Amino acid sequence: MLRVAVLASGRGSNLRALLDAIRRGDLDACIVGVFRDTATAGARAPARDAGSAATHVDPKACATRLDFDRALFDRVDASGADLIVCAGFMRILSPEVVAPRVARMINIHPSLLPRYPGLHTHQRALDAGDREHGASVHVVIPALDAGPVIAQTRLAIEAGDTAETLAARLLPREHRLLVQVVRWCGERRLRFDAERVHFDERLLTGPLAVD
Ligand code: GRF
C-alpha cells in the first residue's frame, strides 16, 4: 500500500479529501505522516480525526531555511513515505532537500500551470480575462510551481465570478484531482522526474485531465 506524507500549512481540506477517500475505500493508501510549518489549527484536525498527530516543525526554532528544511525532511523520511504530497504547503523548499526527492514529491496548485505560479491565482486569472481556470498537480522541483504538470482539472469562468466564487467552485475539483493522482501513484501508473512524466509507461506530452 502506498505510504503518503502530507505537508500542509493551511486549513488542510486536501488532506481531508485524501483521508475521506481512504476511509470510503476509494483510495488504497495510508497517510503515514502530516507535517506542518504553522502552529494554527488547520491540518491538525483532519490528522487527529484519522488517529495520527500532525508533526509541527517550527521554522522559528531553526537558524536558517536549510536547517528547517533538513529538520522537516528528516521527519518525513522517518515516516517511511513513498510519496510526499505538498497540499497547501506555503514554504519554498531548498534545492538541497527537493532534488533528492523529485521522483516522489508532488504539489497541488490552484491554476492551470504554467499560468500563474505563486499566489493570488484566482484573481490573476480574472484580471487577465481568462475564460477558463483550474488546478494542477505537478512534480516538485527546486523552482517554484515549475515542475512537469501531471494532471489538471478545468472549469469555466462565469460572468460575475470573484476570486472567492472561483476558489469555492474549484476546491472540490482540486480534491478529486489530488485523490486521482495519488491513486495513480498507488497503482504504479505514474513515473516522473524533474523533466518528464510517464503514464502507463508512455511519455506524457500534456497533462492528464481529471473532471
Ligand atoms: C489549495 O487551493 C491548494 O491548491 C493550494 O493551497 C490550497 C490549500 O488548501 N496550494 P487546503 O489547505 O488543502 O484546504
Q: Greatest CA span in the chain, whole angstroms?
A: 48
- The ligand 1 atom at the shortest distance from the C-alpha of residue 12 is 12
Domains of the chain, each with CATH number or no CATH: 2-209 (3.40.50.170)
Q: What is the pLDDT along the chain (211 residues), one digit of tens a residue?
A: 999 999 999 889 999 999 999 999 999 999 999 999 988 767 777 877 777 778 989 999 999 999 999 999 999 999 999 999 999 999 999 999 999 999 999 999 999 999 999 999 999 999 999 999 999 999 999 999 999 999 999 999 999 999 999 999 999 999 999 999 999 999 999 999 999 999 999 999 999 999 9
pTM: 0.96
What's the residue count for the chain?
Answer: 211
CA dist 21 and 132 (Å) reads 27
Which residue puts its alpha carbon closest to atom 1 of ligand 1?
88
How far is ligand 1, taken at its centre, from the CA of residue 110, in Å?
Answer: 7
Is 109 an active-site residue?
yes
Q: Is the peptide bond before 117 cis (omega within 30 degrees of 0)?
A: no
Closest CA to 87 of 1, 169, 16, 188: 16
E-state strands within 29-113: 29-36, 54-56, 83-87, 105-109
Ligand 1 centroid distance, CA of 174 (Å): 8
